[in-house]
Each structure stands twice: as C-alpha cells, then as structure tokens.
Amino acid sequence: MKMNLEYGFNNESMPKFREYEIKLINNIKYVVPKTLEKQISNYSLIDFDDYKENDKPLIDFINLGKLSLEETENTDKLLLEYVNQYGLLGFIHDFPVNRYYTLDKEILLKEFNYINNSDCFSTMKIIDYFKIFFPNATDEEIKELLEKVNKNIYEHSMEKFISPEINNLLFENEKYYEQVDMIIKYAQFMYNTLKELKKDNGEYINTREINKLESNHIRVNLEYDGLTIHIRSLKEYIDENFKLYAIQEKKYLKLCKHCGKAFIANNPKTVYDTFSCKNQENVYNSRARLSSNVIKTKDGLTVKVTPSEELSNEIIRKLKKKK
C-alpha cells in the first residue's frame, strides 16, 4: 500500500526558518529566535513539500541524539546546527491528548511526554501549559493568543484550513520557544530506539521504550491511491517517517556497523553508511588478523603489550621476594 505524508502547512502560512540561539530563562535553557528586527527580511520559508522522499531531517535528528550522547560538551552547538537548518520541533502540539487542546481550560497530557519526566497521564491548566512554550509571555498575552487560535477553529470545519493557521499563530510567534532538554532527550530517545530495533544477536528488546513512539492524534485517511498521514509539525514528520522506514520493504533504517551513525539503506544486507566506513572496517579487520596482539576498539586499533616469558618470570621472582 502506498503511504503519503500530507502536511498541515500551505504556501501562504508556513513557519519560517529563523536563526536561533540558546538562552537561560527561569533557570531553563531554551532555543529562541535571535533578535528579529535585523533578520526578518532574511527569513526563508519551511516547505514541508521539500521533505517528501527526503530522509535527511530524520537521519540528522537521530544522529543528533547519537552525537549528544558522545560529545556532551558540544550538545548546544549540535542542537543549534539542527534547528537552524530545520526549525523547532513543534512540541506544543505533541503532548496534549486532545487534538484541539486550546479549547480546554485544563488539558490532559499523554503518557511519555517530556514535561513531568513521567510515564503517566497528567493534567495541567492550559495557561500553565502555554507558559512552557511562551515563558516570556504574560497571562493576558497567552489568553489573547488562545482566543485567536480558538476563533480559527470555530470558523472552519475542515482540518486542511485549521492546521495551517494554528501553526502560523504558534510557530510564527516570536515568543514561541522550546526547551533544549526536551529536544535533546527526544533525539537521544530516537537513537536508542533505533538501537533497540536493530538488535540482531538475540538480546531482549525493550518494547516499552518502542511503545513511546505511539502518535497521539495523527490523522490518517485511506484514499484511492493509498494511506495519507496528515502532519502538523516537524516532530510528527520525524515520528511518522521513522515508523514508515521501520516497516517498509524498499528502504531500511540502520546504524552503521563501523561508525554507529544512522543511515537509510536500499539493500537489507548493507551494513555501512559510506564506502569509507566499509574500507576502514576491512583495514582494521585485516590488521587484527595479522597479530593476536591487536585489539579492535571503537577508537581504532590497540596493540596489547604482552611480556616475554623471561620478563614474566623475572616479575614473578620480584613479587615473591617482597612477600
């Protein structure tokens, strides 16, 4: 069955790329747009149509998770490189159970969210929820924003008209920020989930972790030409692409056997993401076969230091004398 990703953006009201920076607000690190006055003329639109048949946003995000685990001192730099290329994730849509959560004064948050660090359902007042993503906005500004969003919902009856305008009100808002910790935890989760899925040595697979990929309220339509999945944010795009690549037969989401990075393979037997990785692996293996004193490590080759029999006997004699 053919699967299509349909996007909740139109050409007139799509989120725009900005240049981002990291700021500390209320002792929490946020990814925020840089000062707008000098940059507004330099915006370029995020066109989700360009992401069709494009693996890069997904692969880069998984590898952000890998690198943030390995290079903790460079996490902020790695994160900014990603969001400056693709934009913010759109977490505000992801956590509430109700698709049109702005209509409620108090919202139910789904399991597996990054707000309370809990795997249980929880509730929160809508004003408090919005303050997570609009930390510098006043209560009155948030109420005014909610009124605009809800007015849009009341005036339209079709999803294709509602989502683009809501996204425009939220993601286009200069006070919409996302927490660094949320994005990094999500990237690391995606990388670790892929590692779980790709276990092939009989190890136990933690299905509870994989269950966290369940989408909360993705709209799916069965049409004459296949299955259409309606996407509203970059996070939903990453989630749905991850699941599609995990189940389809034509492309395979894998981790390179040599460097450990995520990549898309067209052949199920492919185990390296580049020829360079394949060649380096072959060199390491051939050198290792030449000497039993060579150990292959994640950093390359290490030569074991094995003392001769004469030296070993001398060491033993010295130790006995000390006793």
172: pLDDT confidence band, cut at 50, 70 and 90?
confident
The one-letter amino acid code at 143 reads: K
* Residue 30 near residue 256 (C-beta atoms within 8 A): no
Q: Which residue blocks in 138-233 are alpha helix, DSSP H?
A: 139-155, 159-171, 180-197, 207-211
DSSP of 197-231: HT--SSPPP-HHHHHTT--SS-EEEEETTEEEEEE
Provide the sign of the torsion angle of the four alpha carbons 263, 266, 270, 272, taken in this order: negative
- Structural domain boundaries in the chain: 3-248, 252-323
pLDDT band at 34 (very low <50, low <70, confident <90, very high): confident
One-letter amino acid of 79: L
β partners of residue 4: 228
Residue pair 159/230 in contact (Cβ under 8 Å)? The answer is yes
The CA distance from 77 to 278, in Å, is 29
Interval 256-301: pLDDT, tens: 999 999 998 888 889 999 999 999 888 887 776 665 555 555 555 4
Mean pLDDT of 128-136: 96
pLDDT classification of 28: cutoffs 50, 70, 90: very high
Q: C-alpha angle with apex 97: 93 to 99, nearest 5 degrees?
A: 55
The stretch 302-317 carries a mean pLDDT of 54
The answer to whether the beta carbons of residues 188 and 64 sit under 8 Å apart is: no
